[in-house]
Structure formats: structure tokens, C-alpha cells
Amino acid sequence: MSDHRDQQLHFRVSKPELERIRNKMEASGILSIGSYLRKMALDGYCLHLDLPQLRRMVYLLQMCSNNLNQYAKVANENGRVYAADMEDLRVRLCSVIDNILAEKPKDYEGFLQRLEQQGYEVKRGKYTSVKGARQKRFIRFRTLGAGYSEEELKAVLAGEAEHRPRQKCPAPEQKFQMLVDIQAKLAEGKGAGFARWAKQHNLKEMSRTLVFLQENKIGGIEEMQERVDAATARYHELGDSIKASEMRLAEIAVLKAHIINYAKTRPAYDAYRKTGYSKRFLETHRTEITLHKAAKAAFDEANLKTLPKAKELDAEYFKLLTEKKARYPDYRKAKEEMQELLRAQKNIELFFDEEKNPKQTEHSR
């Protein structure tokens, strides 16, 4: 059917009929009366799908996509993503809380509903905790720092206290920026004005790059590559160390849970054994016996002949947690140093490529 509509139809209706037509048009979700009448005349019906669950799903997918884009950017820049790179999830949660409190919800439940609307899953209970779209674990409000515990938030909502947003640390200013690949941009269709700006930008940033190289006493390409390799190795070494600590912390938490379950369920399992492994006893105490068997299987898999004491596990857990937190500043510093060196290396490579092909750049302009 042709989309070119050059024919007009005119007909009269009464005022009540016009009112009924407008009401039905609004109910169908169509804004144009001409479109509504044409649809009804040609097809005889209009479908209006009201799918709030679908809209909610689309919103959550957009949230996931935004987070994935950020993690993909980090992964592409550094080759890996560590837990320290995801610390911004907690900062983002604080920022979302700040914005919601600024809108002054009526009560605590209204505040939690607003969090849910922002894509967070809320777990209500003794300690309120929330989980974002890309988080594996819930975060309790009381772990976010001063001003964000459940009691403090309720006091703010009740008008008994004033909320003070967390002080955001300013992002470190880059000593120099990446050069612009002028040839590639011109090939994409950029004009002469952009080329003039890019040339000035590259000269300025290249001079800053040279200052950076002088400050860090880097005198050649080979030395640059050595520094890049060393900084990258240091970054991954610290990241792997943090990751290993996190894995061991998780192992300790699981092992401790098995030890507690094993001790609690041992009387029930001993009684089950004395009954000759009675099926009736098993049906009555299935939960306790299942937990006991799972704990015993975990001990056998770990080849534990004697179970460690809970105090020893707690001491190891606290030591690992303290060491992991202490590594974060060094990890972030190593990450910044690696990124600066990689950026300087790319600038030098691009600068010499431009110098090798000046005629091609000029011809493209």
C-alpha cells in the first residue's frame, strides 16, 4: 500500500459522537484522530499494549548495558577487571541515595521504593541491604559509612537530622591527553577546521608528553617499553594478589559455615546412624542430615584431617582482609602509572606515524 496520501475524506458527526470518538482514541493510545479513524476503517480494531513489566525490563537492561560499557572500557584499557575497579558501585549507591533524599520522600518505605525504581533490589529485614543490577552480593546501608546507616537515614527522613552527602574525591587530573589520529578522523569525514584544531591539540599534548618523559627520565623507545612492561606487570601482580585474597576469604567463609553446620547437625546424624540409616528418620531430619553430608563432603574435598578452630579462621580472615585493604592504594597508584605510560607510548607512536606520512595528511586535508 502506498504511503503517499493525497485523497481527503470529510464527514460530519454530532457532538456526543465526537466525544465518544475522542475517548476511544485516547483509550487506544493514539494521539492523532486522523490516524485513529484510518486505522479503525482499514483494520477494524486498534491494539494498545500496556506492558509495565516490559518497560521495567527494558529499563533494567539499559542499566546493565551502562554498567557493562564501563567495565568493558576498563577491561579494554587494562586487560582485566578487579574488585577495586568495581568500588565505584558503592560510590554510585551513595550518590543515588543523596539524590533520593534531596527529593524528600515521605517515609522510609517511600525511600526504599525509590531505590527500587532506580534498578536496585531491596532486601528488607533487620538490616536493610540493596543490590544493583551487576552486583553479586547485597550491600548493607551501615557499611556505606557515616550518614548512610539505616538509623541515620530514618532520622533524616523524619526531619530529626540533616543529611551530609559523602565528600567525593576529585578525579586526578591527567598530566596529558591522548593525541588525535588526524588521518583517521579525516577519513571519517572531518573537515579542515577540525584538522587545524587537532594539529594544535596534538602539539600541546605532545609537549606535555615530553615533559612527562623528562620528569620520569625516559630517554628512548626501548626504555619506554621496559617501563611499560614493568608497570603493567606490577599492576597485574597487585591485582592478582587482591584477587587471591578475595578467593581465600570466600573459602574461609564457606569452610566456617560448614564447620558450624557440621557441629550443629552431628547429633542428628549420629542418631540417624544408630537407627541403621532409617528412611523414616531421614524423612524427618532430612535438612540436618543433608547439611551434615555436605559439610563432610567439603572436608573430604579439602583433604582436612583435622578441622581448624573457628578462632584460627577468624584470625586468618581478619589478617587477609586487612592486607587486602592495605593493597588498594598501591593498586590504584600502579594502575595510574601504567595508564600514564601506555598513554605516553601511544602518543609517541602516533606522533612519529604522523611525521612519517606528512604528505598523506596534507593530501587528505
Please indicate whether residue 355 or residue 80 has the higher confidence score (pLDDT). 355
Write down the pLDDT at residue 147.
84
**% pLDDT > 90, the chain:** 13
Q: Which tens digit of pLDDT belongs to each residue from 277-300?
A: 898 888 888 898 999 999 888 888
- Is 175 within a domain? no
Rg of the Cα trace of the chain?
32
Write down the pLDDT at residue 178.
86
Write down the pLDDT at residue 1.
46
- Is 85 within a domain? yes
- Is 164 within a domain? no
Do residues 229 and 290 touch, judged by C-beta distance below 8 A? no
Q: Residues 227, 336: one domain? A: yes
Q: Residues 142, 14: one domain? A: no
- Is 1 within a domain? no
122 beta partners: 130
Q: Residue 210 CB: number of other CB atoms within 10 A?
A: 16
- Is 325 within a domain? yes
Q: What are phi and psi of 173, to 5 degrees?
A: -75, 135
Q: Residues 268, 138: one domain? A: no
Please indicate whether residue 136 or residue 249 has the higher confidence score (pLDDT). 249
pTM score, two decimals? Answer: 0.49
Q: What whole-number distance in Å separates Cα of residue 304 and Cα of residue 255?
A: 11
Q: Residues 68, 208: one domain? A: no
**% pLDDT > 70, the chain:** 81
Q: Residues 288, 345: one domain? A: yes
- Is 172 within a domain? no
Please indicate whether residue 101 or residue 71 has the higher confidence score (pLDDT). 101
Whether the predicted pLDDT of 190 surpasses 90 = no
DSSP state of 174: P
Q: Residues 345, 230: one domain? A: yes
Mean pLDDT, rounded, for 265-272: 91
Write down the pLDDT at residue 102.
86
Q: Residues 101, 39: one domain? A: no
Write down the pLDDT at residue 361.
47
Q: Tally the domains of the chain.
A: 3
Please indicate whether residue 170 or residue 9 has the higher confidence score (pLDDT). 9
- Is 177 within a domain? no
Q: What are phi and psi of 137, to 5 degrees?
A: -120, 155
Q: Residues 143, 204: one domain? A: no
Show the cell assigned to 85: 575497579
- Is 357 within a domain? yes
Q: Residues 216, 357: one domain? A: yes
Q: Which tens digit of pLDDT belongs to each residue from 71-95?
A: 565 556 555 555 555 556 777 888 8
Residue 295: is it exposed, middle or buried by C-beta count within 10 angstroms (0-12/13-18/19+)?
Answer: buried
Q: Residues 231, 267: one domain? A: yes
Q: Residues 334, 267: one domain? A: yes
Write down the pLDDT at residue 170.
54
Whether the predicted pLDDT of 362 surpasses 90 = no
* pLDDT-derived band at 167, boundaries 50, 70, 90: low
Do residues 208 and 176 touch, judged by C-beta distance below 8 A? yes
Task: Give the structural domain span for 114.
Answer: 54-157
Write down the pLDDT at residue 58.
66
Q: Which tens digit of pLDDT belongs to each residue from 214-265?
A: 988 988 888 999 999 999 999 999 999 999 999 999 988 888 888 988 899 9
Q: Residues 191, 247: one domain? A: yes
